[in-house]
A and B are shown apart, each in its own frame.
Chain A
Amino acid sequence: MWTGDYRYVLTNLIMKDFRVRYRNMSLGMLWSLLNPLVMMGVLTFIFTRVFPSGIENFPLFVLCGLVPFNFFSLAWISATTSLVDNTGLVKRVSVPREVIPVAAVLSNCVHLGVQISLLLGLTLLFGKGVHVQWLWLPVVWALFIPFVCGLGMLFAAIDVYIRDTRYVVESGNTVLFWLVPIFYSFENIRPEYADLYRFNPVAALVMATRNILLDGQAPATSLLRNLTIASAAMSLAGWFGFQKLKRRFYDYL
């Protein structure tokens, strides 16, 4: 039986990802900023010049959507492939398998930290000022990250049995880019499609981020409730699904 230190092994796995990714890059952490800034620039150009949308402070508005979406899509795909990518660990080292997809999700939190700093910096730049409601940000993220961990565990386990899973996730991310209100506002959505967004945790996170940073308001209670339910349900589903599927990982890797 493995009787080790979960926190220590997670820290080491996260540090490994971080070091491997940045050691060979001259610009280091700046790469974490480049992608959201480029996307922000392109989308701002399109939706203020080509198809003017009339949304004020559009760069900040769109970045509030991009940061949560980027985190989610990267964490989801890297967790999904984590077990197959770490076949050597799963087959040769008796570390608890759960830590591998969870570490893949948490590794992306390092980028997330950088991107949230960018987001807060931009909020100040747009003259919004520091607001006490900012304290809601850690709360919504603390609700959202367990959701992604659960989802990541489930998909990582499925990917061991069916290797096509990663392509499904890639397509899922593309679809989600359009189904999350990143470059449009939830208020513009026709009421008959509202449920598509109301039960989508990524959309909920985007809306909560805008409530907090743009409007200086606490997220709606219904939104927080739905996010809590989704997070609890997905962590449980991920955990139990993983327990069931992990017994045959060795045979399929």
Chain B
Amino acid sequence: MAVIEFQGVSKSFQRHAQRQLLRSRIRAMLTGQLKDRFQALRNVSFRVEKGESVAIVGHNGAGKSTLLSLIAGLAIPDEGAVHINGRVSALLELGSGFHGDLTGRENVHLNASLIGWDRKRTTELFDAVVEFSGLGEFIEEPLRTYSSGMVMRLAFAVAVHIDPEVLLLDEVLVVGDQSFQVKCIDRIREFRRQGRSLIAVSHAPALVRSLCDRALWLDHGELVMDGDVNSVIDAYQGNIVR
């Protein structure tokens, strides 16, 4: 059964920088120049089966993050259809939903409730989350005193405990130190052994090769290659060198 299915999906954004201001809206309405759109994804179709682990590669602005937003249900496609079966947990940006003035403990509760845990589950899993993060006593300190690596540890610890059918990662693994990266990679491997799916955007080829078995290559919003992770990355890197 496919956990993710994209059928001819296109997504575009308005290009105007100040489009949310009243005067530019009125001007656009009068001059009729609402057509200037940026095409983030163009007719993209693919399926991800249960248990598959897929990397998404491509240049900056190729549409990778837009693709993840569509999978997470944050954005809605202009054309085509996105079908998702199962619970998706997204780690799209470090510490989104965290607040610097709250302690680690308070942030875990806030973040857990935002991504859909109830109070009982959060209380049960709290110790495991802190244990995994390895933050120790820092959990009672305000988040603004954390290093970016520590924020990532906490965010990642919450995200992997949600028990999702699909985990989305957008370039977040690179911040942690070596030992935490190893721990995360172990966790992701274990997660995959349980038959769950992973979608990862990363510019670190070694990491992608070791975690994923398939890759999608996006270029200017188009899916140019879909296949085995090694052949796609070789082709992508060959393309950069040329």
Contact = CB atoms under 8 A, between A and B. Distances in A.
Nearest to B73: A94
Nearest to A19: B102
Interface string B64-81: 000001001111100000
Contacts of B21: 162-164
B96 A24 contact: no
Nearest to B97: A93
Interface in A61-87: none
B115 interface: yes
B171 to A, nearest CB: 13
Q: Is the interface of A mostly helix, strand, loop or mixed?
A: helix
A226 to B, nearest CB: 33
Nearest to A9: B113
A1 B13 CA distance: 24
Given A23-B101, A91-B74, A250-B74, A8 B96 contact: no
10 contacts: A4-B116, A8-B117, A8-B119, A19-B106, A89-B97, A91-B69, A91-B74, A93-B96, A251-B75, A252-B20
Interface string B105-126: 0100110011111110010000
Contact of A95 (B25, B106, B115, B119): B115
Interface of A: 1-5, 8-9, 11-13, 15-16, 19-20, 23-24, 88-95, 160-164, 247-248, 250-252
Interface of B: 13-14, 19-22, 25, 69, 72-76, 87-88, 90, 92-93, 96-97, 99, 101-102, 106, 109-110, 113-119, 122
B98 to A, nearest CB: 9
B25 A162 contact: yes
A250 B118 CA distance: 26
A91 B109 CA distance: 20
Nearest to A164: B22
Nearest to B25: A162
Contacts of B101: 19-20, 23-24
A3 B116 contact: yes
B115 A4 contact: yes
B117 A4 contact: yes
B215 to A, nearest CB: 23
B69 A250 contact: yes
Contact of B75 (A24, A95, A250): A250
B119 A250 contact: no
Q: Which residue of A15, A90, A95, A247 has the most chain B CB atoms within 10 A of its CB atom? A: A95
Given A9-B113, A93-B96, A95-B115, A1 B20 contact: no
A103 B88 CA distance: 24
A2 B118 CA distance: 12
Nearest to A24: B101
A4 B121 CA distance: 11
B90 A93 contact: yes
Nearest to A13: B110
Contacts of B114: 4, 9, 12, 89, 93, 95
